[in-house]
């Protein structure tokens, strides 16, 4: 609310209690055709990003936004951007800190698929920036 942003360029993801598929479909409609300048994502220790966990059906789903079920961390059901939207952003920045993320980062860097390590699929059309601390980067080849 305190930023002077054009409200047509802000796309909040609203919850859809009881019907995550409807919520994902509504969000997909909201972001379809939107130009995402910068998308900032985090990652979990097993390599999940944007609520897409390893070997989740969402990793292979081609929709702009998806309902994600059976997440191994609470909440078990979520709405997430899909990789089609993530990979359409001009710039994708991934923030990862902590030694518990080092192994997944190393696997992503080595060429793991987005199905195996979802953060490997977090890339922008013009820029992909990884913002890491020394502990998270500790298993990367330097």
What is the 3-state composition of the chain as percent helix, strand, coil, each rounded to the nearest 5?
A: 25, 20, 55
pLDDT 10s digits, 81-97: 999 999 999 999 999 99
pTM, full prediction: 0.90
pLDDT 10s digits, 31-60: 888 888 999 999 999 999 999 999 999 999
Is residue 99 exposed (0-12), middle (13-18) or buried (19+ Cβ within 10 Å)? Answer: middle
Q: First CA to last CA across the chain, in angstroms?
A: 42
- Average pLDDT, integer, range 97-114: 97
- d(CA 129, CA 64) in angstroms, rounded, equals 22
């Amino acid at each position: 609310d305190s930023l002077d942003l054009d409200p047509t360029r802000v796309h909040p993801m609203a919850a859809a209690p009881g019907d995550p598929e409807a919520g994902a479909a509504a969000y997909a409609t909201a972001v379809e055709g939107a130009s995402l300048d910068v998308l900032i994502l985090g990652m979990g220790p097993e390599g999940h990003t944007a609520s897409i966990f390893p070997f989740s059906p969402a990793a292979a789903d081609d929709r702009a936004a998806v309902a994600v079920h059976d997440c191994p961390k609470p909440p078990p059901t979520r709405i997430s951007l899909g990789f089609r939207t993530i990979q359409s952003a001009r710039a994708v920045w991934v923030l990862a800190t902590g030694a518990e993320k080092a192994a997944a980062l190393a696997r992503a860097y080595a060429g793991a698929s987005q199905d195996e390590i979802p953060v490997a699929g977090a890339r922008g059309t013009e820029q992909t920036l990884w913002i890491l601390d020394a502990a998270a980067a500790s298993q990367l080849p330097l």
